[in-house]
């Protein structure tokens, strides 16, 4: 009778753990298409590339960020890069000293990714002006695929079987999130978030066609384009990776089985 009561209690505890597991998940995923109705304050313009879909993943434990953007085949009007700022809910624009801005450049045979402290105003000026204050402030350099060790897992620029194009990356954001901003916001360095998301996501992404870039050493000296589009929004809902919740359940059930077998 006691063993049965213990088993019942453990199953009840498992039910509670499973329902709360989403809040404790370490891997969060986000998928978006132009038909999506999730989020708020949405703005979308396809001038820089007509998006089929976006897939994002962020692991809050390993700090791995994956971001894949699939664009429609538009012949010679292919997108050639994008800029990206992310956070865990609010619209990122206007948050100087808080977020990183990632530049993904696919104009070369090997894509280049650089990250800067976002100036809160404009993606096409952050690489040479680190703050919204008057004049051009020193850019806040964080990392580059050209030389920063332990930063880049994968950079992707590929033509798919349906002739669409996928641009994206997988990076270790520990460097970004541990960065001390050169130009802190009103709350000082404590305002720094870096990049990533959990159960909500805010996005500020611009896509570019006819992109021209140049570099001095490892960092940008030019980022200009003939066409620029955007996807802005806040409070998008992400999906906690279900595997972590399932593993929690399996672990608890295994513990119940072991106790029952020991009692027998």
- Determine contact, residues 102/95, Cβ cutoff 8 Å: no
The pLDDT, as a whole number, for residue 24 is 61
- Determine contact, residues 103/114, Cβ cutoff 8 Å: yes
Q: What are phi and psi for residue 227, nearest 5 degrees?
A: -135, 140
Query: How far is it, in rounded angstroms, from Cα 172 to Cα 69?
Result: 18
Q: Where are the domains of the chain?
A: 1-25+241-264, 26-235
- Determine contact, residues 103/182, Cβ cutoff 8 Å: no
Q: What is the mean pLDDT of each run of 10 residues along the chain (264 residues)?
A: 45 42 76 96 96 98 98 89 97 90 97 97 95 93 97 97 97 98 93 97 97 97 97 97 53 40 44
Query: How far is it, in rounded angstroms, from Cα 259 to Cα 6?
Result: 9
The residues facing 230 across adjacent strands are 45, 206
The pLDDT, as a whole number, for residue 243 is 55
The pLDDT, as a whole number, for residue 6 is 43
The residues facing 155 across adjacent strands are 169
- Determine contact, residues 58/64, Cβ cutoff 8 Å: yes
Nearest CA-CA partner of 224 in 72, 107, 116, 94? 107
188 secondary structure, DSSP code: B
Residues 6+ apart with CB under 8 A from 182: 117, 130, 138, 140
């Amino acid at each position: 009778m006691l063993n049965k009561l213990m088993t019942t209690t453990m199953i009840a505890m498992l039910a509670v753990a499973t329902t709360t597991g989403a809040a404790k998940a370490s891997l969060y995923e986000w998928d978006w298409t132009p038909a999506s109705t999730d989020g708020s304050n949405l703005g979308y313009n396809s001038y820089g590339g007509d998006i089929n879909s976006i897939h994002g993943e962020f692991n809050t434990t390993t700090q791995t960020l994956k971001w894949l953007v699939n664009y429609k085949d538009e012949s010679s009007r292919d997108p050639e890069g994008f800029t990206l700022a992310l956070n865990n809910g609010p619209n990122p624009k206007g948050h100087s000293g808080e977020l990183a801005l990632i530049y993904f450049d696919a104009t070369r045979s090997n894509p280049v990714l650089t990250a800067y402290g976002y100036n809160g105003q404009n993606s096409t000026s952050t690489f040479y002006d680190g703050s919204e204050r008057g004049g051009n402030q020193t850019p806040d350099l964080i990392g580059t695929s050209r030389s920063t060790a332990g930063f880049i897992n994968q950079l992707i620029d590929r033509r798919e079987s349906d002739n669409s194009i996928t641009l994206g990356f997988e990076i270790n954001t520990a460097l970004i999130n541990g960065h001390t901003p050169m130009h802190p916001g009103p709350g000082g360095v404590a305002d720094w978030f870096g990049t990533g998301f959990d159960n909500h996501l805010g996005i500020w992404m611009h896509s570019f066609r006819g992109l021209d870039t140049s570099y001095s050493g490892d960092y940008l000296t030019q980022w200009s384009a003939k066409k620029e589009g955007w996807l802005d929004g806040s409070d998008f809902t992400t999906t906690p990776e279900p595997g972590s919740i399932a593993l929690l359940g399996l672990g608890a059930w295994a513990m119940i089985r072991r106790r029952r077998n020991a009692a027998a």
